[in-house]
Amino acid sequence: MKISSIVRILITGVIFYLLFRFTGIDLNNLFNDLLKIDIQSLIYGFIFLNISIFVSGFRWRYLLNSLGFPLSQIFCIKEYYKAHFYNNFLPTSVGGDISRIYNAGKKAGSVEDVLTTVFLERGLGIISLVAISCIGMLFLDLSIKLKIVTYLMLPSTIALLLLPVIPKTNAILVKVVSVLPKSMESRLLKILDIFLSFHNRPLTLFIALSYSLFFRVVESVFVFFIVNGLGIDFSFQYVLVLHSIVSVIKFIPITINGLGVSETAWVTLTINSGIGKEKAALISLLIFSISFINSIIGGGISVIEKYRR
């Protein structure tokens, strides 16, 4: 095991210890809340979690097709399931993208093109997250510092989206890349050419962004059913905003798959809601647990494909 992985495991443990130690979370109350959960709500949540994965597959295939790579819908969805499985063993939620890039790159014959689609996916996903979070900040009782940080993130993510359609971006980025070592320059220039090819296709970016927003809504339905199953009376709009903010915070790559960071965020964001610290932490733990169990589908797909070769 790499030292970085060991460090992240230790940090995860420390964050959990501090969370339980200083917030006064009662384990007995937490387990009692868990035993009272509505199983039917969890089943509905499980269904919508899988629908969100299908939406992600549709979005990725759309971007691949826009670059002239007609990979099948089944292939894209399978790769997403496998990526979800690999994410369990990597520090952030983007770790599984490596497997998607590698496998789709072999099938398409161009790793650079596939890498560009994944990069765009992530950029559009972050923009949708930050946009929802910023709007939600207007309605949540949070500190002014947290609001300022979030609003500062919005223009930077919007700028990322606009890069392909801003005139003269190509010349500027080429100059930046030219100072890099020659071994990196040629490949990065090719990726830039593909990325900037969207200059004349703003509609493609808009449709892909719409997919990202729809994915965020569907995934939040999954979270809403978990919240509802715990007997918490939150509106869907409130859950959508909370989940989006927590997802942004989880991009901090200091723990394994955001564990500890996510629970702390849920407890902090709902501290004035009256639901109790135990239920707040349980929301995050259930999101992780159900996602982990569901990711076994991706592990099964990987095993089956390995033995079919």
Reduced 3-state DSSP string for 177-242: HHCCCHHHHHHHHHHHHHHHHHHHCHHHHHHHHHHHHHHHHHHHHHHHHHHHHCCCCCCHHHHHHH
The percentage of the chain sitting over the pLDDT mark of 70, rounded to a whole number, equals: 72
**Mean pLDDT across 88-105:** 76
The rounded mean pLDDT for the chain is 79
**The pLDDT of residue 205 is above 70:** yes
> Whole-model pTM?
0.80
DSSP 276: -
pLDDT given for residue 146 in this prediction? 53
Across 291-303, average pLDDT: 92
Residue 204 confidence (pLDDT) above 80:
yes
Q: How far apart are the first and last CA of the chain?
A: 28
Predicted pLDDT at 238: 86
Q: 155-163 contacts: CB < 8 A, separation 24 or more?
A: 157/123, 157/126, 157/127, 157/130, 157/131, 158/127, 160/123, 160/126, 160/127, 161/123, 161/124, 161/127, 161/205, 161/209, 163/195, 163/196
Confidence (pLDDT) at 145: 47
**Mean pLDDT over residues 210-237, rounded?**
93
Flag whether pLDDT at 270 surpasses 90.
Answer: no
User: Which range among 157-166, 194-203, 245-254, 275-284 shows the weakest confidence by mean pLDDT?
Assistant: 157-166
Rounded Cα distance between 196 and 241, Å, is 32
Q: Which has more confidence, 160 or 302?
A: 302
Residue 102 scores a pLDDT above 60: yes
Q: Does the pLDDT at position 272 exceed 60?
A: yes
Average pLDDT over residues 62-84: 90
Q: Which residue has the higher pLDDT, 230 or 241?
A: 230
Between 280 and 261, where is the model more confident? 280
- Roughly what angle, to the nearest 10 degrees, separates helices 236-249 and 144-162? 80
| pLDDT value of residue 130 | 76
Q: Of 166 and 225, which is predicted with more confidence?
A: 225
Between these two residues, 67 and 44, which has the higher pLDDT value? 44
pLDDT bucket at 49, cuts 50 / 70 / 90: very high
pLDDT of residue 217: 92
Distance between CA atoms of residues 282 and 277, nearest Å: 8
Supply the DSSP symbol for 2.
-
Higher pLDDT, 205 or 218: 218
CA 76/CA 64 separation, integer angstroms = 10
Q: Bigger pLDDT: 254 or 37? A: 37
pLDDT mean over 42-71 = 93
* Rounded average pLDDT over 276-281: 89
Q: What is the mean pLDDT of residues 138-151?
A: 55
Report the percentage of the chain scoring pLDDT > 90: 26
Which carries the bigger pLDDT value, residue 23 or residue 155? 23
Q: pLDDT by residue (tens digit) across 26-38?
A: 888 888 988 999 9
